[in-house]
Amino acid sequence: MHILIVGCGNVGQTLTRQLSKEGHNITVIEEQSSVLKSVVNSYDVMGIVGNGASYSIMKDAGIESADLMIAVTDSDELNLLCCLIAKKAGNCHTIARVRNPIYKKEINFIKEELGLSMVINPEEAAANEAERLLKFPSASKIETFARGRAELVRTVIDENSRLCDKALRDIPSDLRKRVLFSVVSRGNEVFIPDGNFILRAGDEVTIIGSSKNTVNFFRKLGLPTAKVHSTIIIGGGETGVYLAQNLIALGIKVTIFERDAARCKELTDILPQALVINGDGTDKDMLLEEGVTRVESFVALTNLDEENIMLSMYVKSINPKAKLITKVHRVNYDEIIGSLNIGSIIYPKNITADRIVQFVRGMSTSKDNNIEALYKLNDDRVEAVEFIVRNGSPVIGKPLAELNLKKGIIIACINHYGEIISPSGDSVIRDRDSVIVVTTRTGLKDISDILEN
């Protein structure tokens, strides 16, 4: 497909990398020539310097023949204007990044009136991910499939765990029944495990199953399955507001640290049930005074990656039982962060890019099959993809054991009219089932892509 991307910030560059890697014809538009030059030199894409809301610039970029225009600049209004012009000039699909909470209640109206194909709010998406983790603190990452009925849950194996030093086939049936071990990350290696795979202390394991069964799995391991009751949030930006609103609705006690006094007044009006403290979250004495050693969870959401990381490290040292969530913008910190063991890491730009890539793949699929959900895992080396299976698909009606699957692919879950099935070799995929596939062969566009030709 021919895709225009307006804005080469964190999200724009991540999208450019992922979509160009998948073989799309990409043209990027960016006002800063130095930024554009870096992107064009790094990826096989075309680049135009200019304002993406300019009709002439859009025309030079090929809007009249484009299939999709994605606007991810730092300005919500500019993104919406780009979509309006693209829709009028090229009649293509349009996606806008819209971050301001003011537009939240009006987003359906805006989407309909401007003919937008998709609206994505990185801050709200990041807050929703943090909320899921605080509702299930034993997990280091949670993604949902099948409209929330199935969950992909990641956790780290402790040396005292019942799973440690056991082959998957030898794990007691009360543990492995109705969940599937889909991915194991060990150091820099990633595995799609079989029954002979032996789990070791420090392995990060991804399981998939129904929400009820994943909770039972953690409960039988003796790990917490109930939501936290209290949290400290550092940073009163938009992500902090969205998260606080979600947590207060769940009955969780929320304390927010914010440096800016004027912003604190706004937060007090927006979040009357939260305790808003005008102070520096890096002030250890203030943190101790507000009970950081006793709080059940701690979320670092400042705009400085280094500050968030250091804060989480500090809290881990004085409150090792607290659930930690750290927001990080720069993905090139991955390897360093992985060795620090500071809980769950949230990358807003990756969340945004993944949702858009999911939409793009959905546009590319055949009429008989489509992608319902897509999540990139383990530094983009693994993907979990949910396909809706339509009549005529070659995977329908055969026991899974008889399907000639490509290497590096596992069928992790089947949703049959709301019944979540952890499949065995005897399981059969039916018309209109949704199927979750976990694979190291990234870029699947259709359920038939899992089969050897």
Does residue 331 have a pLDDT over 80? no
Q: How would residue 369 be classed by pLDDT, with cut points 50, 70 and 90?
A: very low
Residue 384 and residue 375 in contact, taking contact as beta carbons nearer than 8 Å: yes
Q: How would residue 73 be classed by pLDDT, with cut points 50, 70 and 90?
A: very high
Q: How much is the pTM?
A: 0.83
Q: How would residue 325 be classed by pLDDT, with cut points 50, 70 and 90?
A: very high
Q: Percentage of the chain with pLDDT > 90?
A: 65
pLDDT of 343: 84
Q: How would residue 340 be classed by pLDDT, with cut points 50, 70 and 90?
A: confident
Name the fold adopted by 230-346. Rossmann fold (3.40.50)
Please tell me which of 222-231, 251-260, 436-445 the model is most confident about, judged by mean pLDDT: 251-260
Does residue 287 have a pLDDT over 70? yes
Listed as own residue / partner, the contacts of 431-434 with beta carbons closer than 8 Å and 24 or more positions apart are 431/389, 431/390, 431/391, 431/393, 431/396, 432/388, 432/389, 432/390, 432/391, 433/388, 433/389, 434/145, 434/146, 434/372, 434/386, 434/387, 434/388, 434/389
Separation between Cα atoms, residue 246 and residue 126, nearest integer Å? 12
pLDDT of 335: 63
Residue 19: strand, helix, or coil: helix
Does residue 148 or residue 155 have the better pLDDT? 155
Does residue 155 have a pLDDT over 50? yes
- Name the token pair of 270: 């927006």
Domain 2-120 has CATH 2.60.40.10: no
**Sign of the C-alpha dihedral computed for residues 295, 301, 307 and 312 taken in this order:** positive
- Name the token pair of 265: 């007044």
pLDDT of 367: 46
Q: For residue range 237-257, list pLDDT tens digits in order.
A: 999 999 999 999 999 999 999
Separation between Cα atoms, residue 22 and residue 398, nearest integer Å? 30
Q: For residue range 170-186, list pLDDT tens digits in order.
A: 998 878 778 999 999 99
Q: How would residue 338 be classed by pLDDT, with cut points 50, 70 and 90?
A: low
User: Looking at residues 269-273, what average pLDDT do you find?
Assistant: 95
The yes-or-no answer to whether 2-120 and 358-450 have a common fold is no
Separation between Cα atoms, residue 278 and residue 450, nearest integer Å? 54
Residue 72: strand, helix, or coil: coil
pLDDT of 100: 84
pLDDT of 58: 95
pLDDT of 358: 82
User: What is the total residue count of the chain?
Assistant: 453
Task: Give, in order, the Cα–Cα distances in Å from 421 to each of 134, 211, 395, 436.
Answer: 26, 12, 16, 10
- For the sheet containing 68-71, what is the strand order? 46-49, 25-30, 2-6, 68-71, 93-97, 118-120
Q: Which CATH class is domain 358-450?
A: alpha beta
User: Looking at residues 377-397, what average pLDDT do you find?
Assistant: 88
Please state, rounded to an integer, the average pLDDT across all residues of the chain. Answer: 90
> Which CATH number describes the domain made up of 126-220?
3.30.70.1450
- For the sheet containing 382-388, what is the strand order? 370-377, 382-388, 434-439, 409-416, 419-421
**What burial class does residue 33 get, using C-beta atoms within 10 Å of its C-beta: 0-12 exposed, 13-18 middle, 19+ buried?**
exposed
Does residue 368 or residue 299 have the better pLDDT? 299
Domain ranges of the chain: 2-120, 126-220, 230-346, 358-450
CB atoms within 10 A of CB 220: 14
User: Looking at residues 224-243, what average pLDDT do you find?
Assistant: 94
Q: Percentage of the chain with pLDDT > 70?
A: 97
Q: How would residue 82 be classed by pLDDT, with cut points 50, 70 and 90?
A: very high
pLDDT of 131: 94
